């Protein structure tokens, strides 16, 4: 049996490496074509460009590994079935489940490695990729200027333009930042921003300069010009490697996200306690409604009860109604706040489940790929690729849909992220059961040769 396990592992490893390389290359090329404009023409050295591409390789690998497991399993079992090796093993008394055991071990090993990768390597690489991308973005501000938006990355100056015609900016307005002895504002009909080794060069045409002394506002100067050149020293034009403790959900490990979830849980508890205190002050009852509609119904019931109370004077009745109206407004605000906190909490919960649901899919894809490969009896690249791509596309659609529903508070995060695995587990077990019984529920007639019977 050990010999059989080594044989299957050996048969799986090479197709897995090939599949992983091919899928990663396709996804990487697609990313490169979309991201090439981020660093072209920005004077970046080749090492910085390679680092940027390498850091973005992390999320590509996290996506391509499960698909590579499915494709390699399909290729391996399809080839073994095509060469009648599986039939020979069965004829010698080896059950299909025994044949499947080494492949499951392989899928489990890859899944565990992917869990470690998703929890400790992927977050840091995503974080560093975002920081580097931001630094590259700021290195050439002339490429980032949009009409109607302030540009604040220039040292000592803020700038806004009214339009853009190629490299030429139109209706340029420049304002000096705080901390200067005088306030300077410049308006020009046209202008162009160039970058040299250690400075920005701003060439303006047909405009005016207005200067005002800020000390006593007694000196004002206005200068008209046909051409005006501003050289702005920028010693940090070389790529500034920033550091920040602020991370998004995809840049955090599970412990980090767990702390974030706990912080939002505490915020929700504080709001719920505040709501309960408001009910006690107004109705003298520490009610804690679970939903906004429930709270509004309680307020409505209290308003109806007060209206029927004949012992209250008109002034007392108006006072109580004002308190109820204030409570009603507070309920709307507080439950909107709770909804916002729940969405933020769910975002981190979804990402936590995602770090484990995708690696677990490696085991499911082994079951699925083994059954499909055995039934198809074809280990060719075209057959395996078409089947694996189709199933993985369906799985990924379910995964993205579940993530979207969970982010919108429509389903529980665990349900949203594990439902695709549950569906594919049922499909995989169904196909595996029929493969064990040697009764194929799917006929792969399109993939058979004419001489197959």
212 forms beta bridges with 183, 220
Which domain range does residue 217 map to?
155-233
Contacts 24+ apart (CB under 8 A), 43-48: 43/139, 43/140, 43/195, 44/136, 44/139, 44/239, 48/132, 48/136, 48/239
- In this structure, are 308 and 388 located in the same domain? no
Is 112 contained in some domain? yes
Least confident window among 44-53, 143-152, 440-449: 440-449
- In this structure, are 333 and 382 located in the same domain? no
- In this structure, are 6 and 127 located in the same domain? yes
- In this structure, are 181 and 129 located in the same domain? no
- In this structure, are 100 and 171 located in the same domain? no
Q: How many domains does the chain have?
A: 3
Q: Report how far residue 125's alpha carbon sits from residue 145's, in angstroms, rounded to the nearest whole number.
A: 28
Domain boundary among 316, 347, 378: 347
Q: Which residues of 227-247 are buried (b: 16+ CB within 10 A; e: fewer)?
A: ebebeeebeebebeeeeeeeb
Q: What is the pLDDT of residue 161?
A: 87
Is 145 contained in some domain? no
Q: What is the pTM of this model?
A: 0.71
pLDDT tens-digit readout, 110-140 = 999 999 999 999 999 999 988 887 777 655 5
Q: What is the pLDDT of residue 193?
A: 79
**For residue 28, pLDDT beyond 70:** yes
- In this structure, are 169 and 227 located in the same domain? yes
Q: Report how far residue 420's alpha carbon sits from residue 401's, in angstroms, rounded to the nearest whole number.
A: 9
**For residue 453, pLDDT beyond 50:** no
Q: Which residues of 97-125 are buried (b: 16+ CB within 10 A; e: fewer)?
A: eebbebbebbbeebbeebbebbbeebbeb
Q: Roughly what angle, to the nearest 10 degrees, separates helices 381-407 and 46-82?
A: 120
Least confident window among 31-45, 158-172, 201-215, 260-274: 31-45
- Average pLDDT (402-426) is 91
Q: Report how far residue 348's alpha carbon sits from residue 271's, in angstroms, rounded to the nearest whole number.
A: 20
Q: What is the pLDDT of residue 452?
A: 47
Is 318 contained in some domain? yes
- Average pLDDT (61-86) is 90
Q: Which residue has the tokens 């390498």?
A: 54
Is 453 contained in some domain? no
Q: What is the pLDDT of residue 194?
A: 76
Q: What is the pLDDT of residue 106?
A: 94
- In this structure, are 278 and 221 located in the same domain? no
Structure tokens at 331: 């309920």
SS (H, E, C) the chain: CHHHHHHHHHHHHHHHHHHHHHHHHHHHHHHHHHHHHHCCCCCCCHHHHHHHHHHHHHHHHHHHHHHHHHHHHHHHHHHHHHCCHHHHHHHCCCCHHHHHHHHHHHHHHHHHHHHHHHHHHHHHHHHHHHHHHHHHHHHCHHHCCCCCCCECCCCCEEEEEEEEECCEEEEEEEEECCCCCEEEEEEEEEEEEEEECCEEEEEEEEEEEEEEECCCCCCEEEEEEEEEEEEEECHHHCCCCCCCCCCCHHHCCHHHHHHHHHHHHHHHHHHHHHHHHHHHHHHCCCCCCCCHHHHHHHHHHHHHHHHCCCCCCHHHHHHHHHHHHHHHHHHHHHHHHHHHHHHHHHHHHHHHHHHHHHHHHHHHHHHHHHHHHHHHCCCCHHHHHHHHHHHHHHHHHHHHHHHHHHHCCCCCHHHHHHHHHHHHHHHHHHHHHHHHCCCCCCCCHHHCCCCCC
Q: Which residue has the higher pLDDT, 276 or 42?
A: 276
Is 447 contained in some domain? no
Q: What is the pLDDT of residue 244?
A: 56
Highest mean pLDDT among 38-42, 103-107, 285-289: 103-107
Is 27 contained in some domain? yes
**For residue 451, pLDDT beyond 60:** no
Q: Are 361 and 382 in contact (CB under 8 A)?
A: no
Average pLDDT of the chain is: 83
Domain boundary among 233, 267, 293: 233
Least confident window among 67-71, 234-238, 383-387: 234-238
- Average pLDDT (332-345) is 90
* Residues contacting residue 72 through CB under 8 Å, at least 6 positions apart: 12, 15, 16, 18, 19, 20, 369
Q: What is the pLDDT of residue 36?
A: 77
- Average pLDDT (91-106) is 89
Q: What is the pLDDT of residue 153?
A: 62
Binning pLDDT at 50, 70 and 90, where does residue 348 land?
very high
Is 149 contained in some domain? no
Q: What is the pLDDT of residue 144?
A: 58
- In this structure, are 134 and 215 located in the same domain? no
Is 77 contained in some domain? yes
Domain boundary among 176, 207, 233: 233
Q: Give the total residue count for the chain.
A: 453
- In this structure, are 134 and 14 located in the same domain? yes
Q: What is the pLDDT of residue 265?
A: 93
- In this structure, are 318 and 401 located in the same domain? no
Binning pLDDT at 50, 70 and 90, where does residue 238 land?
very low
- In this structure, are 229 and 304 located in the same domain? no
Q: Are 110 and 62 in contact (CB under 8 A)?
A: no
pLDDT tens-digit readout, 354-409 = 999 999 999 999 999 998 888 877 656 677 777 888 888 899 999 999 998 988 88
**For residue 418, pLDDT beyond 90:** yes
Q: Are 123 and 251 in contact (CB under 8 A)?
A: yes
Q: Roughly what angle, to the nearest 10 degrees, separates helices 96-116 and 314-376?
A: 130
- In this structure, are 357 and 334 located in the same domain? no
Q: Which residue has the higher pLDDT, 173 or 446?
A: 173
**For residue 191, pLDDT beyond 80:** yes
Q: What is the pLDDT of residue 386?
A: 79
């Amino acid at each position: 049996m050990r010999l059989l396990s080594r044989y299957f592992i050996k048969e799986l490893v090479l197709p897995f490496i090939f599949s992983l390389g091919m899928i990663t290359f396709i996804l990487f090329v697609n990313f490169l074509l979309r991201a090439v404009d981020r660093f072209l023409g920005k004077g970046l050295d080749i090492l910085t460009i390679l680092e940027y591409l390498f850091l973005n390789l992390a999320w590509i690998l996290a996506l391509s590994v499960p698909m590579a497991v499915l494709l390699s399993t399909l290729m391996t079992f399809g080839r073994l079935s095509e060469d009648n090796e599986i039939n020979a093993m069965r004829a010698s008394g080896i059950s299909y489940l025994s044949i499947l055991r080494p492949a499951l071990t392989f899928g489990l090993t890859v899944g565990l490695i992917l869990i470690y990768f998703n929890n400790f390597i992927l977050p840091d690489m995503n974080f560093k990729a975002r920081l580097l991308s931001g630094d590259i973005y700021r290195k050439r501000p002339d490429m980032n200027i949009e009409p109607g938006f302030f540009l604040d990355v220039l040292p000592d100056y803020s700038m806004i333009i009214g339009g853009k015609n190629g490299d030429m900016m139109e209706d340029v307005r420049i304002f000096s930042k705080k901390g200067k002895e005088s306030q300077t504002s410049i308006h020009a009909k046209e202008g162009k921003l160039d970058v040299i080794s250690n400075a920005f060069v701003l060439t303006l045409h047909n405009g005016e300069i207005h200067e005002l002394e800020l000390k006593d506002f007694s000196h004002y100067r206005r200068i008209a010009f046909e051409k005006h050149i501003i050289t702005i020293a920028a010693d940090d034009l070389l790529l500034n490697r920033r550091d920040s403790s602020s991370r998004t959900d995809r840049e955090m490990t599970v412990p980090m996200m767990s702390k974030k979830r706990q912080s939002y849980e505490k915020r929700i508890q504080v709001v719920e306690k505040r709501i309960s205190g408001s009910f006690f002050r107004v109705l003298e009852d520490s009610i804690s409604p679970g939903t906004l509609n429930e709270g509004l119904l309680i307020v409505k019931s209290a308003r109806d009860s007060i209206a029927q109370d004949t012992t209250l004077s008109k002034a007392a009745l108006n006072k109580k109604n004002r308190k109820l109206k204030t409570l009603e407004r507070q309920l709307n605000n507080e439950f909107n706040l709770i909804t916002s906190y729940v969405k933020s909490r769910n975002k981190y919960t979804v990402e936590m489940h995602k770090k484990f649901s995708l690696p677990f899919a490696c085991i499911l894809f082994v079951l699925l790929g083994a059954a499909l490969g055995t039934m198809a009896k074809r280990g060719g690249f075209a057959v395996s690729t078409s089947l694996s791509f189709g199933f993985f596309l369906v799985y990924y659609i379910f995964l993205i849909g579940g993530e979207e529903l969970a982010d919108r508070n429509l389903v529980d995060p665990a349900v949203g992220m594990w439902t695709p695995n549950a569906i594919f587990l049922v499909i995989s077990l169904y196909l595996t059961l029929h493969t064990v019984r040697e009764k194929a529920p799917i006929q792969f007639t399109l993939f058979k040769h004419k001489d197959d019977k």
